[in-house]
Amino acid sequence: MSSVRRVIFGPNPRRTTVRILVLAVACIITFRWILLPVRADGDSMLPTYSTGKLTFVNRMAYLGSRPQRGDIVAIKLAGPHVVYIKRIVGLPGERLSVRDGQIYINEVPLAEPYVRHRKPWDLDEVTLGSSEYFVAGDNRGTSDRGRVEGSRILGRLVY
């Protein structure tokens, strides 16, 4: 039995046990509060994220800054593990409208080279609140889009 223990724990079992505990605590902290694993489901973010792709949300990304236009973020719905993955296209305080699928920010068309399958849709001009963002998927043919409160943004996706 001692030879099996030596193979598993090495020549210094106490040191190995401490290393295992430190690694376990580091993993729990990392994957509970810093990096949240999410799996893309659906085609609203094609071609950037395809169904089944596993990625991580950096929950610390916005501690010292605010989300920026173009950031791909996770938005919590009914808890930290039920999330939408969307791209930020409108920032707080901006006037946003959509005509024939083209987004206008303060009456200037937004350049979006990442958009696929632009579906013609319209939205009358709205002014986003001081903590509101406008989000949309990259595949505008099937994507949900709309306003979201900044408090619902969990973090920025890590590629």
Give the count of beta carbons closer than 10 Å to the beta carbon of residue 76: 18
Catalytic residue list contains 44: yes
Q: Which amino acid is at 59?
A: R
**Catalytic residue chosen out of the listed positions 44, 76, 131, 151:** 44
Q: Where are the beta strands (DSSP E) in 2-151?
A: 35-39, 54-58, 72-76, 83-90, 95-99, 102-105, 108-109, 123-127, 132-136, 145-149
Coil, helix or strand for 86? Answer: strand
Interatomic CA distance for residues 28 and 144, integer angstroms: 33
Token pair for 34:
């810093």
Catalytic residue list contains 3: no
Measured in residues, the chain has a length of 159
**Catalytic residue chosen out of the listed positions 65, 86, 143, 151:** 86
Instruction: Please list the active-site residues.
Output: 44, 86
